[in-house]
Structure 1
Amino acid sequence: MATSLSLTIARRCLPFPAKLALSILPGLVVLGAVEVVLRLTGCGYPAGFFLSTDRAGQKTLIENTRFAWRFMPQQTARAPLSFQFPEDKPHNHFRIFVFGESAAMGDPEPAFGFSRILQVLLEERYPALRFEVINTAFPAINSHVIREIARGCAECDGDVWIVYAGNNEVIGPYGATPAFGSTAPPVQVVRVAAFLSRFRIGQCLGGLARKLRARQPANSAEMTELLLSRPIAADDPVLRRIYANFENNLHALVRMGLNARARILLNTMVSNLKDCAPFVEGEPPPLPPEKLAVWQTSLAEGTRLFEEGNTEMALARFQQAYALATNHAGLQFRLGRAFLAAGDTNSAKYHLQSARDMDAFRARADSKVNEVIRRVSQSYRQERLGLIDAEQAFNTSSPYGITGAELMCDHVHFRFSGNYLLARLQANAISKFIPRQSESQAEWLDQEACARRLAFTDWNRYRFATALRRQISGNLFRRQINHREQDARLQNEIQSLQNAIKPDAMPQQIAAYREAISAMPHDWVLYDQLGNYLLAHADRAGAAAAWTNAIQIAPHAFTPLYKLGLLLNQPETASQALTYLLKAERLRPASPEIHAAIGTAFTHIGKPADADRQFKLAIALDPASEHARIAWAESLLNRGLTNDARQQLETLLMFNTNSLQAHLRLALFYAGQNQTQNATKHFTEVLRIDPNNETARRCLSSSNTRSNTATRPEEPGKTSNLAPKPQPR
């Protein structure tokens, strides 16, 4: 009794901080115990951007492919590029970190992104130094995520931090869409969420919260449709919070870099102004009915006159509409193009920039984002922080002084020429930080020399153009008023590169790869590119050897593991394929394409139950996955379960009525059942999507559809047709 009373009196005598500590201590102990149990039982995932591993007795840092799970649903989260570098920086190494989103990563082909060109430029100019250019950028992230990446980089002894970020502030995590969580919450709320996600308890709670929300987008196409359904006008109040959050995050990143004794290079953001029309022009202006009718008529007549080549009259009609209302992205773009055709480049640039700023699909950094970047750069001592005005440099290097398709491949991503220009801007700035004893008098490599060093050949240009043309056939780009112009430009480019895909070009192309590999024998990306080329030209053994070499150099790299697994995923080599696919699955367990490929391998080796389990996992991750449903249908068909196979294909068409592969396989299925009417319907759909499809044309021209059932669509370089080649997420 006396002891208890003494303890009570003692507690009352304690200062308030001590009382508070005693009151929360039991809760902290419980939370700590739960955290330990979750880690021991394998719940959750590593929270840091880097993972430590051992390479030939040396501690090495590699990417954490699950890092983005902290900020977005697993099925839509993207992974960083594969890299590896010593945990302890050697004496003669110069370490550069690149921060940003898909444009900084090098999308649509990171093998030729500006960070790769930058490394070539620096190594050639300063051969006494070993340059490590570590690209931490990846798609669908923004400054909230980049801030956490920078936290990890601050401990890695970087010499220079390059920041090229700002395109995804509105459409990325904690932006204006609730797909990733709350809509533009205060930055303090985001920081608390980011802090909690470092712990397994926070990860589990975050995963549970996402499951309790309405169904989240399962893939990038669904995400795009969600964003299109929720346009953000230039005067939306949510943008003020987004700009403020971006500025807060940028300041935090700069302070982390400076405290880590790195030099910081901030870049303004580049957009395709001249050749990229707004994705969402916006609603008609709020005018009285009679004025609105005049505005709409002037816009329509101006558009018609401009297409007919009557620039003067078109400009007059657009100006008539502009006098009534200015806040319409489509009108601004039309005015800009008309002024450009009339030779008034200053007015053209003003209106084209206004069109970008008013685009309600906010996937391009606007003027206010660049204002934030410039303002932040002025807040620090310039000897350790530099501003690279990439926006101005690209305009200066472009025809008419307006950035367009000469340097850009779409709205924000670069052609090789654009990546080279951005790399040169960084290289010029970095040269001021190079130790004097390492200075070189050599000139910077020109664009063509860099292309040779990275094996960027005409075949790559052809592949790049065809992939880009497929991309702009999607709903997002078809909305643009100059879509036909963009498509025609790419058609002409593809036609001009036809010689690159002819058989007699192969020796020269192979020589280009061999030359690049001999100069950089430890670059796994070059072997990956060689594998792509050899497979496209039906050299399966050569492709397998190339990807095997890539894996030997970078055993943790997802891409060569996945591609080699797909290549070997044939009945006679399915067991080998499983080895690589299962390793790839451990790196990206939320990829439906990988689970579908594993399902196909299990089908080949005669394990249907295991196959179905993998296909179900793939469908659970993305019910609309074309690859997963077609692969499952082929697996079912090989087991004689024809009705189940048909059901998978028909379900796919419920999600995607334009799936050529589903229509083609259903047409062949119905032809095999002698159901001519149904077969004809699906063959007709195939020709609607692809007018040059030989299988559909041949079968439709035959009087007896059933006689063509043995015909199956073949893919280049493959001996079986289980599914369209998937793109890893």
Structure 2
Amino acid sequence: MKPRGDRVRSAQGKTAGPRTTSAPSHSRPTPLKRWVFRLAPLALLFAAFFALEAGLRWTGVARSPRYFLPALHQGEKRWIENLRFGWRFFPKQIARTPQPISIRQARAREDFRVFVLGESAALGDPNPAFGMPRILEILLQEALPHRRVQVVNVAMTAINSHVLREIAEECSTREGDVWIVYAGNNEVIGPFGGGTVFGRQAPPRAAIAASLAWRGTGIAQLLESWVARAPSVQDERAGWTGLEMFKDQQVAWADPRLKKVHQHFEANLDYIVKKGLAAGARVVLSTVACNLRDCAPFGASLPGGIQPDLARRWNALYRDGVAAESRADMTSALELYRAAAELEAAHAELQFRIARLLAAQSKDAEAKVHFGQARDHDVQRFRIDSAANEIIRRVAKRHSGEQLGFVDSEQRLSETSPGGIPGRDLFLEHVHFNFEGNYALARLLAPEALRTARAGSGTAPRPILTLQECAARLGFSDWDRYQTLRKIHERLQGLPYTIQLDHGEQLERVQGEMASLRPSLEPGALRAAAARVGDAVRRRSDDWVLRDQHGKLLEAAGDVEGAVAAWMKTHELMPHFVNAPYQIGNLLDSAGRSREAEPFLRAALQPMPHFVEAMNALGLCLTAQKRFAEANSWFAKALEWRPAFATAHVNWGLSLAAEQRPMEAITHYEAALRLRPGHANTHYNLAIALKALNRTNDLLVQLQKTVQLNPQFREARYNLASELAAHGKLEAALAEYKETIARWPELADAHYGLATVHARLHQNQHAEEAAKAALRRNPNHAGARSLLQRLEEPAQR
């Protein structure tokens, strides 16, 4: 048999060469079969993906990505907020949560439902109980006495139009009568913005949609949870720090990213409006106001690419202008600033300085232009810019019609401000309203919201409630104003506020306002305020927010039982509102009723397992019951969720110290001090642990730091004096005892301590005087009586 060679095809298309009798060869697979073979692995991969996804959802491992979740309350089907909604857009450890919501799934005919979409300014930060949505609800209910008005606050902190687009998608099936959209401050720093820290900056819309779809899957959530557990991502300081997180994200007016941000904003806003109109709602668009007069830029820089020689000349003029302004030569300062602006005007602080000088000359119209330019050229974009407000106006005009309402709040609020320039008359800082500002905004929006309800009703409009009437209906008091300012004061202590050129003025103003409100903290004032909230509760007995407010005031007034009762009613009205059982648990635990407190703290963690404050409180509650192992596990869980939670470190240290484990306690106190340097209580707790280890020098250092940080810390100062005396540092001890007595003259132990030091120094007359002083304050002080007897014995011989 000849060997088989290559076959050659003849011209006629037949195979040339001898025929063979070998076994028949297999036929080649058809093109269809080849594609089947190629696609089979891909199909199996998809099948495995969907099977795993289905399994994760069925077992509850995957969380719902939706904003609204179904719930049952007293046999009625309702929609409530999803506390994990923000996890699609932010790292879960710092994700913000929606406001508590509860609306009927089956909307009744008498219901009038309004959705407010926006960011923290629309939300009502820092106190949503007195924000625009709450005031708007009061105004609308007064205007529609025969309807059941519910303003549903779906605004959230730190979000922007990319997130609002997703919320709007769900609102479209929740039968809203009116949508109010007040948004635009966070377009640059929010998710997918040009200066965000939460992922890619200004990606294409298709990439954003793909990212959100992927992060909504259970598989993505599972992978993210694995990554989050890795030691490399467990940053000790990770946590929500507000605007400070964006301190390195500068976006100039000419930055190409800003153009993309504006394009996304217009597309998203257009989509939201279309969704609302298609759902049959009246959509009310509003421009966004911000603080121009009393908020210096957060960041300023000359445009990139400026010629070095021009930059040098500009800097010289600007520097000379600042020097002239500092010596109160305002005429020269303004001339120098104007000269600098002729060289290069795109500098936020320059524009702000020019604006302030013009405002001081009552040239308000010209000043307003420069204040606006200062805002637009601020490279730390925490406020809406003029281009974004023009986008809102353009979208409103594009969709103008009977169902589209438009309020130019930026313009209308300016008209009510001194000189037409909004400032501290309306705002707490850069964008968040005070109570007067929230009322002013709500009053502008209310007529547009009412157009749908009154159409064809034939009812005469009622007068709009006044500011004072709204305050009374909401239980707003000077105590609430003080609490709001306290939060703002704390906020102003951190970046980026501390680098604003008017930071000192802002801080001084807030401190002055707080000082004027301190009488509201007196017991009598608190009881009166709580009584007024009680009156408001009787008018709106099913208002859970008022009940929550009542609980806070009763607690502040020292009425523990009344506060617990108020929060019990809050819990009854809003069972998934985690703050009510949390507050009840805290109150009971603080009152020494830890066993009663425990179930409430556990109840707070059921709907929100990542509620780190409740984890910490439960740890304290278990520590009080000497269940140290359980307590420590809850402190560990709190720190797993929020590694920068210094309070959990401190309390874990206290639990370990109570177990007589001072070395481990010290580790946690030191960790807390790395996270929160200069915290007096932590230094004091560290000192107590060091005493247990007989580390005298370190102990004294920590006690000295404690009293330096908090001169009024009585226990620390007294213990410092005692420890100095115990270790033979008598002159230093003498000084500390005298300082303690000067601050707390009725402290008998301090007088006795002073007497013992004088006695050791053989200063018997001073020792006798101090011992007698101790006995005058506490006639039963055995130590002082014994010392006095010993001192008197030589004289009697």
TM-score higher than 0.5 = yes
- Using the alignment, how far apart are the partners of 1:266 and 1:228 within structure 2? 31
**Superposition deviation, residue 541 in structure 1:** 1.9
| 2:145 partner amino acid | P
**Superposition deviation, residue 668 in structure 1:** 5.2
Pair 1:609–1:411, CA change in 2 (3 A): same
Pair 1:210–1:599, CA change in 2 (3 A): closer
Q: Deviations over 1:665-692 (max 9, x none)?
A: 3355557777675456545655665566
- Please show how residues 579-590 of structure 1 align to structure 2 within 5 Å: 579-590=599-610
Contact 2:646 2:675 in 1 (8 A): no
Pair 1:421–1:19, CA change in 2 (3 A): farther
Q: Deviations over 1:192-237 (max 9, x none)?
A: 222233332343345557778966773222x644410232222221
- Using the alignment, how far apart are the partners of 1:433 and 1:705 within structure 2? 78
- Using the alignment, how far apart are the partners of 1:171 and 1:572 within structure 2? 45
Q: Deviations over 1:24-55 (max 9, x none)?
A: 76554433321221123221212211111112
Match of 1:408 in 2: 427
Contact 1:472 1:487 in 2 (8 A): yes
Is 1:274 the counterpart of 2:328 in the alignment?
A: no
- Using the alignment, how far apart are the partners of 1:80 and 1:333 within structure 2? 35
The two structures have a TM-score, normalised by structure 2, of: 0.82
Pair 1:191–1:209, CA change in 2 (3 A): farther
Say which of 322, 332, 335 aligns to 1:313.
332
Contact 1:106 1:113 in 2 (8 A): yes
- Using the alignment, how far apart are the partners of 1:91 and 1:22 within structure 2? 54
Pair 1:684–1:489, CA change in 2 (3 A): farther
Pair 1:165–1:691, CA change in 2 (3 A): farther
| 2:429 partner amino acid | D
- Using the alignment, how far apart are the partners of 1:634 and 1:192 within structure 2? 47
Match of 1:718 in 2: none
- Using the alignment, how far apart are the partners of 2:254 and 2:725 within structure 1? 58
**Superposition deviation, residue 305 in structure 1:** 3.5
Contact 1:73 1:210 in 2 (8 A): no
- Using the alignment, how far apart are the partners of 2:491 and 2:139 within structure 1? 30
Secondary structure of 2:485's partner? helix
**Superposition deviation, residue 413 in structure 1:** 0.4
- Please show how residues 406-485 of structure 1 align to structure 2 within 5 Å: 406-435=425-454, 436-437=456-457, 439-485=459-505
Match of 1:636 in 2: 656
| 2:384 partner amino acid | A
- Using the alignment, how far apart are the partners of 2:636 and 2:539 within structure 1? 45
Pair 1:292–1:694, CA change in 2 (3 A): farther
Pair 1:344–1:123, CA change in 2 (3 A): same
Contact 2:527 2:554 in 1 (8 A): no
- Using the alignment, how far apart are the partners of 2:71 and 2:304 within structure 1? 58
Contact 1:231 1:360 in 2 (8 A): yes
| 1:537 partner amino acid | A
Match of 1:338 in 2: 357
- Using the alignment, how far apart are the partners of 1:281 and 1:687 within structure 2? 40
Match of 1:566 in 2: 586
Paired residue total: 702
Match of 2:544 in 1: 524
| 2:667 partner amino acid | Q
- Using the alignment, how far apart are the partners of 1:554 and 1:595 within structure 2? 21
Pair 1:182–1:421, CA change in 2 (3 A): same
Match of 1:539 in 2: 559
Is 1:326 the counterpart of 2:345 in the alignment?
A: yes
| 2:251 partner amino acid | I
| 1:70 partner amino acid | R
Contact 1:547 1:560 in 2 (8 A): yes
| 1:524 partner amino acid | W
Is 1:295 the counterpart of 2:314 in the alignment?
A: yes
Which of the pair has more CA radius of gyration? 2
Pair 1:459–1:387, CA change in 2 (3 A): same
Contact 2:135 2:470 in 1 (8 A): yes
Q: Deviations over 1:83-123 (max 9, x none)?
A: 21111110011110011111111100000001000010111
Secondary structure of 1:443's partner? coil
| 1:101 partner amino acid | E
For the aligned residues, what is the CA RMSD?
3.1
Q: Deviations over 1:510-551 (max 9, x none)?
A: 221111101111111111111111222322222211111110
Secondary structure of 2:202's partner? coil
Specify which structure has the bigger relative contact order, considering alpha-carbon pairs within 8 angstroms and separated by 6 or more residues. Answer: 1
600-609 vs 270-279, which moves further = 600-609
Say which of 161, 172, 175 aligns to 1:157.
175
Pair 1:682–1:234, CA change in 2 (3 A): farther
**Superposition deviation, residue 646 in structure 1:** 1.9
Q: Deviations over 1:126-146 (max 9, x none)?
A: 201111110011112111111
**Superposition deviation, residue 636 in structure 1:** 1.5
The two structures have a TM-score, normalised by structure 1, of: 0.89
- Using the alignment, how far apart are the partners of 1:346 and 1:334 within structure 2? 15
Is 1:183 the counterpart of 2:201 in the alignment?
A: yes
- Using the alignment, how far apart are the partners of 1:209 and 1:237 within structure 2? 33
Pair 1:19–1:98, CA change in 2 (3 A): farther
Percent identical: 35
Q: Deviations over 1:244-275 (max 9, x none)?
A: 11222111111111111111111111111110
- Using the alignment, how far apart are the partners of 1:705 and 1:356 within structure 2? 59
- Using the alignment, how far apart are the partners of 1:235 and 1:504 within structure 2? 56
Is 1:243 the counterpart of 2:262 in the alignment?
A: yes
Contact 1:571 1:605 in 2 (8 A): no
535-544 vs 666-675, which moves further = 666-675
Unaligned runs of 5+ in 1: 712-729
Secondary structure of 1:587's partner? coil
Is 1:361 the counterpart of 2:371 in the alignment?
A: no
Secondary structure of 1:362's partner? coil
Contact 1:126 1:439 in 2 (8 A): no
- Using the alignment, how far apart are the partners of 1:328 and 1:664 within structure 2? 47
- Using the alignment, how far apart are the partners of 1:434 and 1:210 within structure 2? 49
- Using the alignment, how far apart are the partners of 1:312 and 1:290 within structure 2? 26
Secondary structure of 1:296's partner? helix
Pair 1:544–1:304, CA change in 2 (3 A): farther
**Superposition deviation, residue 430 in structure 1:** 1.4
Contact 1:699 1:705 in 2 (8 A): no
Pair 1:32–1:674, CA change in 2 (3 A): closer
**Superposition deviation, residue 421 in structure 1:** 0.8
Match of 1:204 in 2: 222
Contact 2:352 2:370 in 1 (8 A): yes
Match of 1:130 in 2: 148
- Using the alignment, how far apart are the partners of 1:304 and 1:270 within structure 2? 32
Say which of 399, 421, 425 aligns to 1:380.
399
Contact 1:285 1:292 in 2 (8 A): no
Q: Deviations over 1:126-180 (max 9, x none)?
A: 2011111100111121111111111111111111001111111111111235632
| 2:338 partner amino acid | Q
| 2:93 partner amino acid | Q
Pair 1:282–1:680, CA change in 2 (3 A): farther
Pair 1:614–1:380, CA change in 2 (3 A): same
Contact 1:311 1:342 in 2 (8 A): no
Say which of 543, 553, 573 aligns to 2:573.
553
444-453 vs 209-218, which moves further = 209-218
Pair 1:488–1:106, CA change in 2 (3 A): same
- Using the alignment, how far apart are the partners of 2:396 and 2:668 within structure 1? 54
- Using the alignment, how far apart are the partners of 1:51 and 1:153 within structure 2? 12
- Using the alignment, how far apart are the partners of 1:563 and 1:33 within structure 2? 42
**Superposition deviation, residue 373 in structure 1:** 1.2
Secondary structure of 1:371's partner? helix
